[in-house]
Structure 1
Amino acid sequence: NNGDSVWINPIASISDGAGNIQQNPLNRRVILDVSKYDNALTVNDAFYYDANADGYIDSIVINISGNLEEISPNELLTMISFPQERSFSVESSVLSGNLLLLRVTQQNGQINTAVTDNDVLTVSWGIVAGKNLIKSGVVTIKDRVAPVILSAHLIDHETGNDTLYIRFSERIMNFNTVGPFRFRKNGGDEYYASLTLLSLDDGGRYIGRVNSSTEPLAIGDSVWISPSANITDIPGNIQQNPQNRRVQMTADLTGFPVMISEAIYFDDNADGFIDKIILRYTGILNFANLDIVTGAILLPPARNLSIENVNIIDSSIVLIVREGNLVPQTAVTKADRIVVSSRDLGEDGILMAGTVIATDSMAPVLISAQLEWYGPDRNTLNVTFSEPVNTVYSLSPFIFRKPEGGQYSVSLRNPTQTSGNRFSGQVVSVSNGYQLGTEDSLWINAVEQVHDLNHCYQDNPRNRRIPLTTNYHFTMRFLAENNPFQEGKRPIPAIVSETYTTNSLPVPDDGLIIIVEPDRKLNTEIPFEATISIYDVVQNPVILKKKMVLDRQRNRLYYIWNGANYNGRKVGSGTYSAVIKVKGNGTTVTKILRVGVKR
């Protein structure tokens, strides 16, 4: 309230620049003076405009909420700071309703019609006209400025079509109009040129091929944006002012243009990775300029390609490359854009800037293969290709090989494609008396016409080999022999004794035998691991986490319990709980088995 006292809180650690802290509770008091203001002003929005379309901001409109009656525009301007990079000077200011209209001039002489993160108004807190509170804040200025041309340059070729280079004042939306610009001879009439877009990048750089013009394009001619072409920047501002900025055209006279017109990917060794790129070009290219051309080529970043060798063969640049990716991708996408920058080739002319999408000449390879094993006669092979493939009708589309070298084929029933690059088929038979094994390798059978959607056939017999993985489908079976345990009732079976001996373990003289095994015979060894703990009826531990013994040949685990606890003392008659935890085949299974002892 008005008249209240105010002083520094001694525990707030308020200090000056020399580190002196005010800790005296009796430090100086001052009287609080309260002013009340009924009208609060808030700067809500601000907009840039370029009324004469010369590329320079000449108007700023600021939207302010609150009662602006009896307030001077100049008072408001003392509270508002403009972006320093623009170097604005305010020529005039008018209040119209809740809008502050400013006519401004840019002092830095730089054309930049794009709004950046630095284009903000900073509003300071203050009192206007003695009774109006203006709130502080930062307001982002919105873009209402259309693009203009910064420069125009003509490459005048002795033979072939000329090339026009245009630099816009900002990034613009892509356009396909053949007449985006207007031209005027010095002291003459306007004329028109028909252009084909060759390149338009994110920096506002346009390159077009001149197809025809009503007058010859020449040095000193004026160029500006055609208001009917709807040239638009990214925020959506269209340049429709017929008086938009004119620039004078510059020009160079060069020889025949060299243009890269096509790019083709190859995978000569069929490993699924690009190893050669052929760039077809028009024009005349001497070997002496090959390094200049290679330095102007930007290969698709996603491919992680490095150039190992380069040559010219039959009007084509041949790049021997190495792809650094780990997973093959033999399909060509929109990301496979090869960008060429313009280069001066001396007396041989000029390398034209442009962009080409690579053409696919790579056949599919295998990425992965997994056998879904359910038993000797109920197995499914699932394969993933490096790209979508056309329907595979062959019943033996793959070739298999054992680690020791034996080669075989597999006949499949009901081959299907669950999606474009995934194939599935039921295993009917395996040749040469073999069985499918986890360590086997496989590849596409080169005579079975496996091909992608662009009809690139995999006919290389040394195409990419991949390992076969197996997902076994079974359940674990838990058994107890000589249960309940009675001393001397039954000898330890020979097969159990042999397993203990093979694993260099002593064989107990007597005991109850816990057995864990798959519910079906597997065609490979699986490194099962298991532990067993036994508890009495009140959950007191008898033995804890004893390792079971693996019979690798039969994929079976054993544990012989001699009816003693962890101290070696015999337990009494009764029922006990055996908790068994088994790991293997990528899963963990826990089972409680009831066992007994009879004394």
Structure 2
Amino acid sequence: NVMNVIISKKSGQPTTMKLNGVVSTSYSDSAFKFNKDFAISTDTTTFTLEVTWRMIDAEDGSAYDSTDTNSFKIVRSTRVNQPSEGYLDCWERDLFLQFNGKPINAINETMNKLEVVFTTNSDRYKKVSVDITHKSGSTKDSLLALPLSENDSGFSGFFEREVGAPKRDNVLQHSDPDSIILIYRNPDNPLDTIRKAYPFAISKILKFPAASYFDKNADGKVDSIFIEVEGPVDQEDLEKLKSSITLPEPRKFKVNSISVVKGGIALDVTEQSNEIRTYVSPTDKIIVNSGSLPAGGLIEGNIINVQDKVAPVLLSGTFFSDRQDSLQVEFSEPVKHFSSKEPILFSHGGKTYRVELAENGVFSKERFYTSKVISVESGSAITEGDLIWINPAAGIGDTLGIKQLNPENRRVPLKVQEAEYEITVRTVNNPMKPDKPVPPEVVNVFGEKGKKVPPNGVVIVVEPKGEIKNKIKMDEGKVSIYDVVKHLVKKDIEGVFDEGTQKLYFIWDGTNEKKRVVGTGTYNAVIRATTISQKTNNRKTFSQIVPLGVKRK
């Protein structure tokens, strides 16, 4: 108490203290500390106290040092007479801070409103006011003579605080870190002084330096986002962090959950954009908004350029059935050049089959890869609608080296594009004459199929023009006969297909639906048929109108 009174009587900043020639080891919160004990003799001990101050002239701002020296004696005795020039007095009182009704030893950033409590069991204190200031910073802010209200146990009052530069308001602005200092001075007794210092420091600051996209199920959509965090993250921080993070709008993310993981936080998300993007673009920025955490701590705002950790997938695939079969696939992003005989896997009806490609495929337009088909697994055929996907064993990766290793990566349906071929129609025995029989080769085809052949009639032949690479077949097809005014004469005459010659034959015997012969004249045959590739099962619908004639004697 003697030292505090001496210090409080001076203005300026104390810098050093000596007690009996021993220099203090540190200075904190206006208190000097010594790393040794000072012995008290059996009778009288004299102490010499030297305090050096750093003084600042309030008028011109000049600084200078000033040293004060004081001496005092401590007398040890079982019976002490009170000196005539002084008096002995004892005070039972205390001064401290509370937050939310509980005493505290230190202050953090969540404690914006604090309660000053002055307790006493003496009735000598009628009015109590407290000065509140702080230690750090080039400029000080103070709340002088804050009045406390009387209650059952003493006096109390509230004040607000914040980190910042001093303002002309009723809020204490201070630095970080700092110490908030309470000073009570009894105006009636200078020795009745209490000084308390409470350290302030932000409990933690969370920084967000980096973030990455991941595609755990390898469907080409981002489903997990990792955000690196510098600083400890607690479970109670997560909801605030979730509301403080803004994800890239173009991807239309929905956040399903957020969790603490090693090195940061993980967001389980659903990417609702229709576009497949396994790469990052300039729009892939995550905004972290600054703010405070409910359990203590600050969020340091940042704009993060997201890193790509997503492997490529397939967007499409086309099988070209021509003189040299080939496969072309489109990746979701540019890939590093690879050399593999089986870069793509195939399945039909849930069964996977293997297709060998030439290793010297061609890369084009950044995302496309085309290669010749060498062989298809025995018993399988490349068919329209088969599913294809990247073979994880091929080690296909993007330009960053992120490889697609997930065996469940995105499947896409295969398109089949066959070499174009033309279907032609010709007729035999047209116009029909009763004395012209059906050609023997047509009779044989009908006979092999167990079909009856009329003795004479018009033969309609549907066949591919020229040589085609892949064998085709045609369904039986149908022909209907109409007269010139479009009246139906005979409906749905069935045809017979010859696999050897790939020709479809129809015979009209010149009768109508009632099996009566028709008269001489011109008629129209409406042909409908479907061609089917025997290699790819690719189907094409064919229809045509052919004029027919009947000539009776």
- TM-score by length of structure 2 reads 0.53
Residue 513 in structure 1 maps to residue 459 in structure 2: yes
Query: Alignment partner of 1:346: what SS?
Result: coil
Residue 378 in structure 1 maps to residue 324 in structure 2: yes
Query: 1:363 maps to which residue?
Result: 311
Q: Which whole-Å CA distance do the structure 2 matches of 1:564 and 1:449 have between them?
A: 68
Query: 1:436 maps to which residue?
Result: 382
Please list, as runs of the form range in 1=range in 2, the aligned pairs for 1:408-423 lying within 5 A after superposition. 408-412=354-358, 414-423=360-369
Query: 1:338 maps to which residue?
Result: 286
Select 2:165's aligned residue among 218, 241, 262. Answer: 218
Give the Å deviation of 1:499.
7.6
**Any gaps of 5 or more consecutive residues in structure 1?**
1-156, 160-184, 187-215, 222-249
CA RMSD of aligned residues (A): 4.3
Please list, as runs of the form range in 1=range in 2, the aligned pairs for 1:232-251 lying within 5 A after superposition. none
Given that 2:319 and 2:415 are in contact with CA atoms closer than 8 Å, whether structure 1 keeps it comes out as yes
Query: 2:241 maps to which residue?
Result: 293
Query: Structure 1 counterpart of 2:510, which letter?
Result: G
Select 2:271's aligned residue among 323, 326, 339. Answer: 323
Query: Alignment partner of 1:260: what SS?
Result: coil
Given that 1:264 and 1:359 are in contact with CA atoms closer than 8 Å, whether structure 2 keeps it comes out as yes
Query: Structure 2 counterpart of 1:436, which letter?
Result: I
**Any gaps of 5 or more consecutive residues in structure 2?**
1-106, 110-137, 140-162, 177-201, 532-537
Query: 1:478 maps to which residue?
Result: 424
Query: 2:147 maps to which residue?
Result: none
Residue 467 in structure 1 maps to residue 409 in structure 2: no
Q: Which whole-Å CA distance do the structure 2 matches of 1:294 and 1:404 have between them?
A: 41
Query: Alignment partner of 1:356: what SS?
Result: strand
Select 2:342's aligned residue among 396, 399, 416. Answer: 396
Provide Cα deviations, 1:240-287, integer angstroms capped at 9, x if missing partner: xxxxxxxxxx88964432122211111122222222211111122211
Residue 450 in structure 1 maps to residue 431 in structure 2: no
Query: Structure 1 counterpart of 2:207, which letter?
Result: M
Give the Å deviation of 1:422.
1.7
Query: Alignment partner of 2:354: what SS?
Result: strand
Give the Å deviation of 1:597.
3.9
Please list, as runs of the form range in 1=range in 2, the aligned pairs for 1:545-584 lying within 5 A after superposition. 559-564=506-511, 570-571=517-518, 578=525, 580=527
Q: How many residues align?
A: 354
Give the Å deviation of 1:413.
6.5
Q: Which whole-Å CA distance do the structure 1 matches of 2:374 and 2:389 have between them?
A: 18
Query: Alignment partner of 2:236: what SS?
Result: helix
Give the Å deviation of 1:395.
3.8
Select 1:257's aligned residue among 191, 205, 209. Answer: 205
Query: Structure 2 counterpart of 1:370, which letter?
Result: T
Given that 1:303 and 1:324 are in contact with CA atoms closer than 8 Å, whether structure 2 keeps it comes out as yes
Provide Cα deviations, 1:72-117, integer angstroms capped at 9, x if missing partner: xxxxxxxxxxxxxxxxxxxxxxxxxxxxxxxxxxxxxxxxxxxxxx
Given that 1:364 and 1:387 are in contact with CA atoms closer than 8 Å, whether structure 2 keeps it comes out as yes
Q: Which whole-Å CA distance do the structure 2 matches of 1:281 and 1:339 have between them?
A: 14
Given that 1:483 and 1:597 are in contact with CA atoms closer than 8 Å, whether structure 2 keeps it comes out as no
Query: 1:306 maps to which residue?
Result: 254
Given that 2:237 and 2:295 are in contact with CA atoms closer than 8 Å, whether structure 1 keeps it comes out as no
Query: 2:120 maps to which residue?
Result: none
Evaluate the alpha carbon distance shift between residue 265 and residue 529 of structure 1 in structure 2; reply closer, same or farther with a 3 A threshold: farther
Give the Å deviation of 1:460.
2.2
Give the Å deviation of 1:372.
1.7
Given that 2:280 and 2:306 are in contact with CA atoms closer than 8 Å, whether structure 1 keeps it comes out as yes
Query: Alignment partner of 2:254: what SS?
Result: strand
Query: Structure 1 counterpart of 2:368, which letter?
Result: R
Higher-Rg member (1/2):
2
Q: Which whole-Å CA distance do the structure 1 matches of 2:357 and 2:497 have between them?
A: 30
Give the Å deviation of 1:509.
7.7
Evaluate the alpha carbon distance shift between residue 526 and residue 356 of structure 1 in structure 2; reply closer, same or farther with a 3 A threshold: farther
Query: Structure 1 counterpart of 2:337, which letter?
Result: T
Query: 2:58 maps to which residue?
Result: none
Query: 1:85 maps to which residue?
Result: none
